[in-house]
Structure 1
Amino acid sequence: MKTLIDCKKACRVKVLKLNAKDDLKQRLISFGIMKASILEVLEHSPGKSTVEIKVGKMRIALRAQEAQLIEVEKI
């Protein structure tokens, strides 16, 4: 399954599933990252240690470990 960290810059994706534990899952949901939400990958840091995404009008930086827990499909 493709995860958010696998997406290239300027890629738009739809969230299929969050594989995070309770605390992290609630944090992601509070940012608007939940099943069926649309995300846009804006930038990767050198070495892909973080990924910057856009959710609605909000920009969020996620650690690579967090982005690997978000299953997505390209739209």
Structure 2
Amino acid sequence: MTTDHYDAELDARGLFCPEPVMMLHNRINDVEPGGVLRIVATDPSTTRDIPRFCQFLGHELLSRSEQDDEFVYLIRRGD
């Protein structure tokens, strides 16, 4: 899956823990189950927090990468 295949996006650049995950918690509900949300963040703590979020809430972390000091995640919403 490429980073240009997603259903919705969350721009969390410039935000710090816990704001990116709080916003993610709200934004994932706007995506249909099975849909993909792309998140772009600048806070390094998201490398820990977003995988845990997915694990605890039953979402699938499809990919994560770092591009130009930004962290990019693709999450498939669970049921």
Both structures adopt the same fold (TM-score exceeding 0.5):
no
TM-score by length of 1: 0.29
| Structure holding more strand per residue | 1
Select the structure that is richer in helix: 2
